Amino acid sequence: MTANFFKNLKTYSATALFVILTACASSPRHVGPADGVKVGDGSSLKNMVPASQLEQSATKQYNSMKQKASQKNALAPENHPQVIRLRAIAKKILPHAYAWNPDSQAWKWEINLFVSDEVNAFCMPGGKIAFYTGILEKLKLNDDEVATVMGHEIAHALREHARDRIAKAQIGNLGANVLSSALGLGNVGSQALGQGLQILGLSFSRADEKDADLVGMDIAARAGYDPRAGVSLWQKMGQLSQDKDKQPEWLSTHPSGDSRIYEIQRNMMDALILYARAKNTTIDRLPNYKP
């Protein structure tokens, strides 16, 4: 009887996994505002990971990062010109982010600047944004380019790519132990978070990066930032990464600049319509973009 039980359980687990993966497969349905850039619904696997727990874990890690930076005098003060600049840009962008994820309106958004030569920026689940001085200074970013980076990182959080990556990683481990997988399937996200998962260590897929590029371009354009800055940004990134020994860590998890520029240009018209509307003009009257 015991042997039959485990045999049936194994069959049940395989069937259940197939049903879950089928039900959670990506849908072509468009989400977000009716106008602007078009992206798919994405995977529903993220629903296996508790959003509240992930956001709590992200907040804890973000606060720890701030505390350590402060102890080393590496957390820029509130009156730092670049902090003021970043928060002003975020203030314009965020109202246009909520349509992509209604829950994000209740997030405790926060943006800080860390003093580091590293070319990096991120937005953790729950709206915890960080920029490093390296990305601002080494690339000499103008406001449109800063908004492009910020929109991209915010889009990762809005689209809950971290939840999705955690869920997929745990799904991949289901076959390791049929019994525990079958009994603990609904708690895979809690298990990962309970083990002290380092959210900043997650790497996103190329599909995630493309998604974040397009959604980020959309919300930045609605806020009045020129989407053509995406092209100049990745050209600057390309120049910086020519020396492989000095390639920024931020680029190591991102697709090549050429492919990014191609996708940005392919969707540029939709974003330019939003940008022109934000500027109370029409596309044909927009001035040429100057990086």
As a whole number of angstroms, the distance between CA 111 and CA 147 comes to 13
Does any domain span residue 17?
A: no
In Å, how far are 69, 70, 113 from 62, measured between CA atoms? 11, 12, 12
Domain that holds residue 92: 48-176+198-280
Q: Is residue 40 part of a domain?
A: no
pLDDT at 21 over 80: no
Contact present, 291 and 229 (Cβ < 8 Å): yes
Band (281; pLDDT cuts 50, 70, 90): very high
Residue 30 counted as domain residue: no
pLDDT score, position 165: 87
* Domain membership flag for residue 15: no
Q: Six-digit token pair at 170? A: 């745990």
Measured CA to CA, the distance from residue 122 to residue 201 in angstroms comes to 11
Is 94 inside any structural domain?
Answer: yes
Catalytic residue at 153?
Answer: yes
Residues comprising the chain, all counted: 291
What's at 174, amino acid-wise?
L
pLDDT tens-digit profile of 175-200? Answer: 444 434 444 444 444 444 444 456 66
Q: What is the pLDDT of residue 63?
A: 97
Share of the chain above pLDDT 70, in %: 73
**Of 55, 110, 145, 153, which one is the catalytic site residue?**
153
At 10 the pLDDT is: 43
What's the pLDDT band for 172 if we cut at 50, 70, 90?
low
- The Cα 127–Cα 108 span in angstroms is 6
Q: How many domains does the chain have?
A: 1
pLDDT at 245: 57
Alpha helices (runs of H) in 112-160, residue ranges in sequence order? 133-138, 143-158
Q: Is the residue at 39 inside a domain?
A: no
Residue 95 carries which DSSP code? G
pLDDT digit string, tens, across residues 211-245: 999 999 999 999 999 999 999 999 999 888 776 55
36 touches 274 (CB < 8 A): yes
| Predicted model pTM | 0.81
Is 130 within the bounds of a domain?
A: yes
